[in-house]
Structure 1
Amino acid sequence: MKKHIPNLITLLNLFCGCIAVVFAASDELIIAAFFVFLGIFFDFFDGLAARKLKVQSELGLQLDSLADMVTSGLVPGLVMFQLLSSVEGVVGLSIVNSVGEFTQWRGFKVGLLPFIGFLITLASAYRLANFNIDERQTTSFIGLPTPANALLVLSLPLILEFQSNDLFRDIILNKWFLIGMTLLSSFLLNANLPLFALKFKTWGFKENAIRYIFLIACVLLLALLQFVAIPLIILLYVLMSLFDKTSNTQHPIPKNGL
C-alpha cells in the first residue's frame, strides 16, 4: 500500500494542474496561479515521500514528468498566451456565465502573437523528456527546472493584481517584454547551465550551505518584496548556481520517484 503514496501525491499535483488549466483558460490567472503553487507543493513532497518510504520506481519518475508537463508546462504557456492577448487588445480564451446547467464558450478572435507564449510549453516538454534520459543530471540540474520557470511566469499576473503601479504595468504589459520573457524562459529551461537542486539528502549545514543560504534569502526577499521577489529569486538561483563549485559534482540527483 505504501508504494502508492508518492504516486498519489504526484497525481494531486496533476489534479491541481488540470484545475489551473481551466481557470487560466477562463482568464482567471490569479486562481490559476494558486493551483500551480499548490501543485508545485505536491511536486516537492512526492519525491521526498518516495525516498523516505523507499518505494522509488521508474513509474514514479515518468508520472512526475507527466504531471509537471501540465502544472509547470501547459499552464505557464497558457498564462503567457493570455497576457499577450491582453496586450494585443483581443479577446483570448474565456468562458461566459453559465446558462442553466450548461457553460457556453464565448467566440474569440486572436492574432498570431499570443501563440508565441506556447513556446514555454514546448520548451518545458523538451526539458522534461530530456531530464528523464539525461545521465548528466547529478546533484545539479541542467537548465532551469520547470516548477521554477512556472513560478517565474505566474509571478507576472500576481504582480499586476497585488502590486500594480504605473512602472510595473508599463513593463509587464509591454509585448516586447512578454516576448523577451517567453524566449528567455524557453532558453533557460534547456540551457546547458548547472543549477543546484533543492534536494536535501542530509540536514547538515556544511554540505547544504548554499541551499540554506538560498532559502533564507528567499524568505527575506518574499517578506520585503512579496510577488516582485519571485523573478529576483529565480535570478539569484541562477547566479548562486554559477558560483557554486558543487553544482557539477557527480552524485545521482534524487529524481522524484527514483
Structure 2
Amino acid sequence: MSNAITRHIPNTVTCLNLFSGCIASVMAFESKYELALGFIILSAIFDFFDGMLARLLNAHSPIGKELDSLADDVSFGVAPALIVFSFLKESGLHYPDFLTPIQSYIPYLAFIIAVFSALRLAKFNVDERQTSSFIGLPTPANALFWGSLIVGAGDLLLMHVNAVVIVALVIVFSLLLTAEIPMFSLKFKNLGWKDNKISYIFILVSIPMLIIFKLSGIAAVITWYIILSLLTQKANK
C-alpha cells in the first residue's frame, strides 16, 4: 500500500466519526435518544480506531489532528448538547414556577456542553501533560454520560427531577471538561496489580454497576470514574 493512500486512512476513519456524529445530532434533535446514543457510541469507536491507525501506520499529520478535534466536538459536544436540549423541551419535565417566564429559553443552556467540549479539545491539543493521562473529563466520557442518562433513566428524571437539576448537571459536567483535575487513563502497561491498581479497582466496581443499572449504568460508571480520579488525586497529595 502506497504512502499516499496510507496517510489518508486515519483521516477517513475520523470523517466517519464526524458523519456518525452528525447523524447522532439529528436523532437527538428529533428526540430519538436511543438512536442518538447509538451513533455517539459508533463515533467513539471510530475515534478510538483513528488514533490507533495513525500510530500503527505512522500517519500522523497536522490536518488529522485538527480534523479529529472538529469531529469530536460534533460527536461528543454538539450531539450530547442536542440530547439535553431536546430533553429540556420534554412536556413532562417539571419547571419550577419562578422559571415559567423564561422556560422556553432554558433548553438553550444545553449548548454550554458543546462550548466547553470545544474548549476542552483545544486545550488538549496544546497541553503536553496529557500523554498518559487526562487533565479534565474527556469529551467522549461526557457524551456517553448524557446519552446513557437520558436513555436509561429518562422516565425517572421526568418523574422525580426538575429542570434546575438538569441545568446544574450541565454546568458541573461542563466545568469538569476544562477543570485542572487529573483523570487516570485505562491504558495498561502490563497486567500487574501494582502498576494498574486504580484501573483494576475501577473495572471491578464498574462491572456490577453495569449489571444492576443496565444502560444508565454507563452514566454511573462515568460518575465513578470522576470520583475515583478525585480520590486518587487527593491520595497522591
Instruction: Name the TM-score, length of structure 1 as normaliser.
Output: 0.77
Q: Deviations over 1:35-60 (max 9, x none)?
A: 01111111112212222223223322
The answer to whether the 8 A contact 2:92-2:158 is kept is no
Rate the CA distance shift 1:177–1:46 in 2: closer, same or farther, 3 A. Answer: same
Question: Residue in 2 aligned with 1:204?
Answer: 191
Does structure 1 residue 53 correspond to structure 2 residue 57? yes
Question: Residue in 1 aligned with 2:227?
Answer: 239
Q: How does 1:168-207 map to 2 (within 5 A)?
A: 168-172=157-161, 174-200=162-188, 202-205=189-192, 206-207=194-195
- Matched to 2:191, the amino acid is G
Taking the aligned partners of 1:45 and 1:187, their CA distance within structure 2 comes to: 28
TM-superposed CA distance for 1:7, in Å, is 1.7
Query: In terms of mean alpha carbon deviation, does 43-52 or 54-63 score higher?
Result: 54-63
Number of aligned residue pairs: 221
Taking the aligned partners of 1:181 and 1:241, their CA distance within structure 2 comes to: 18
- Matched to 1:38, the amino acid is L
The answer to whether the 8 A contact 1:87-1:175 is kept is no
Q: Deviations over 1:129-174 (max 9, x none)?
A: 111112332422111010000011111221246xx45xx43235x2
Question: Residue in 2 aligned with 1:219?
Answer: 207
Question: Residue in 2 aligned with 1:136?
Answer: 129
User: Which runs of 5 or more structure 2 residues have no equivalent in the other structure?
Assistant: 94-102
Rate the CA distance shift 1:40–1:214 in 2: closer, same or farther, 3 A. Answer: same
Q: Deviations over 1:181-201 (max 9, x none)?
A: 11111111111110012344x
* Match for residue 20 of structure 1 among 9, 24, 30: 24
Taking the aligned partners of 1:204 and 1:58, their CA distance within structure 2 comes to: 34
Taking the aligned partners of 1:216 and 1:184, their CA distance within structure 2 comes to: 26
Higher relative contact order (CA 8 A, sep 6+): 1
Taking the aligned partners of 2:91 and 2:119, their CA distance within structure 1 comes to: 28
User: Which runs of 5 or more structure 1 residues have no equivalent in the other structure?
Assistant: 90-109, 249-258
Local SS of the residue matching 2:196: helix
Identity %: 42
* Match for residue 146 of structure 2 among 145, 148, 153: 153
* Match for residue 8 of structure 1 among 12, 27, 30: 12
Taking the aligned partners of 1:135 and 1:64, their CA distance within structure 2 comes to: 17
